[in-house]
């Protein structure tokens, strides 16, 4: 298996180093390559997703991705900003399905902002569409009839876009609790109405999965009130962005949640759901666990190596159960110490 490591910006390189240690410790028959991405690539070459990086990504079986984003480039034209690298990879590689599992690790009952009994019930998977929605529609700044500037972005979903993500979500639900909640804003948005109609059509092929629908405002509320009610949530790119970050805090720290971005084949991109955290970059205090858990997802989905994926996840669980905590969880362990602890816990 050819794995491309894209560390990116901010805390990206620090946490990637820890995932690299874990990968080394497993001594798997993989080929590793590296490339620049995000602000780091822009600085070196003038583009956040240089052609060489994209070519390497296309040639890889799996991509392990750190994070991109750097406020130093806030004033740069949008198409050259660090974030365009991850949006570009998702689009160019056809990675339309983003899987974001959220589950409370034993021992973290008191780390969530939610009451322990509410937090411990969390075991959900958010399936976020990743190639469409208001992220990728026509956008720009135009002048209105009255001569003012107006910013605009077109939100849209076509039938086939909804259908393929719906299939991913129904299949994921079949492998879990067999309950799927589709989140939209169909009372206001035509995009959501089409989404809902197509999800209902696809449901006919999955009679064993119980489908429900929820408006996004209600979903944001229910994720606080009683997140334990959800099994699989399927939603569009924008709502998925918001709800998955929200869910991450329910499990104690955004530093613990990994994600897989998948297309039609086996190739996937794996990244923590947190960002580049420029405020703590270089301090050696970033939590590498979401990055390490992203490696586990990589081995499972692109490598078909459930055994080693489960080994990594068990080691992370062990480390947390042993009370190892970084700054994000009120502890004092640094990035490398946490990575080392995971390596020692592998068995």
> In this chain, which of 29, 46, 51, 160 binds its own copies, going by CB under 8 A?
160
Q: Please, what sign has the CA dihedral across residues 171, 165, 9, 247?
A: negative
Q: Is 245 annotated as a binding residue?
A: yes
User: In this complex, which beta carbon is closest to ligand IPM, that of residue 5 or of residue 67?
Assistant: 67
CA distance 59 to 33: 10
Site track 234-253 with ligand IPM (rule: CB under 6 A), x = hit: -------x------------
C-alpha pair distances (Å), 181 with each of 10, 100, 147: 35, 14, 44
Q: Which two tokens stand for residue 162?
A: 């909804």
Structure tokens at 67: 């994070």
**How many chain residues are in contact with its own copies, going by CB under 8 A?**
64
- 289 within 8 A of 258, measured Cβ to Cβ: no
- Binding of ligand IPM by 187 (CB under 6 A): yes
Site mask for its own copies (CB under 8 A), range 245-284, x = bound: xx-xxx---x--------------------x---------
Q: Which residues pair with 221 in a beta bridge?
A: none
Tell me: does residue 159 bind its own copies (CB under 8 A): yes
Determine whether the annotation assigns residue 100 to a binding site.
yes
Residues 100-139 as x/- pattern, contact with its own copies by CB under 8 A: ------------xxxx--x---------------xx-x-x
Residue 56 token pair: 């390497």
Q: Is 149 exposed, middle or buried (0-12, 13-18, 19+ CB in 10 A)?
A: exposed
Nearer to ligand IPM, 69 or 288 (CB): 69
Helix axes 159-174, 190-203, angle to 10 degrees: 50
What does DSSP assign to residue 104? Answer: P
Q: Applying CB under 8 A, which residues contact its own copies? A: 69, 78, 81, 83, 87, 112-115, 118, 134-135, 137, 139-141, 144, 146, 148-160, 185, 187-195, 216-218, 220-226, 238-239, 241-246, 248-250, 254, 275
Which residues participate in the annotated binding site for Mg(2+)? 217, 241, 245
Q: Applying CB under 6 A, which residues contact ligand IPM? A: 69, 83, 86-87, 187-188, 217, 241
């Amino acid at each position: 298996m050819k794995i491309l490591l894209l560390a990116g910006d901010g805390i990206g390189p620090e946490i990637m180093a820890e995932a690299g240690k874990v990968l080394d410790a497993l001594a798997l028959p993989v080929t590793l390559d590296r490339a620049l991405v995000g602000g780091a690539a822009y600085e070196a070459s003038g583009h956040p997703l240089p052609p060489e990086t994209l070519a390497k990504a296309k040639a890889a079986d799996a991509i392990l991705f750190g994070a991109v984003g750097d406020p130093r480039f806030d004033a740069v034209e949008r198409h050259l900003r660090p974030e365009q690298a991850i949006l570009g990879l998702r689009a160019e590689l056809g990675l339309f399905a983003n899987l974001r599992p959220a589950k409370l690790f034993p021992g973290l009952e008191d780390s969530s902002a939610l009451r322990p009994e509410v937090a411990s019930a969390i075991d959900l998977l958010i399936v976020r569409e990743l190639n469409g929605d208001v992220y990728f529609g026509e956008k720009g700044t135009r002048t209105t009839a009255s001569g003012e500037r107006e910013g605009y972005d077109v939100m849209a979903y076509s039938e086939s876009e909804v259908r393929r993500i719906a299939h991913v979500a129904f299949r994921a639900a079949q492998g879990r609790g067999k309950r799927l909640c589709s989140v939209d804003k169909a009372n206001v948005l035509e995009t959501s109405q089409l989404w809902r109609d197509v999800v209902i059509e696809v449901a006919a092929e999955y009679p064993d999965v119980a489908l429900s629908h929820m408006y996004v405002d209600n979903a944001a509320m229910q994720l606080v009130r009683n997140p334990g009610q959800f099994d699989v949530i399927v939603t569009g790119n924008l709502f998925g962005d918001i709800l998955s970050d929200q869910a991450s805090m329910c499990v104690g720290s955004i530093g613990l949640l990994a994600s897989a971005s998948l297309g039609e084949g086996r190739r996937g991109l794996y990244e923590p759901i947190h960002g580049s955290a420029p405020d703590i970059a270089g301090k050696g205090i970033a939590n590498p666990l979401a990055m390490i858990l992203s490696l586990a997802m990589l081995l499972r989905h692109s490598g078909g190596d459930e055994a080693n994926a489960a080994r990594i996840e068990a080691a992370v669980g062990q480390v947390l159960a042993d009370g190892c905590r970084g700054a994000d969880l009120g502890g004092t362990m640094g990035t490398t110490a946490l990575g080392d602890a995971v390596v020692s816990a592998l068995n």
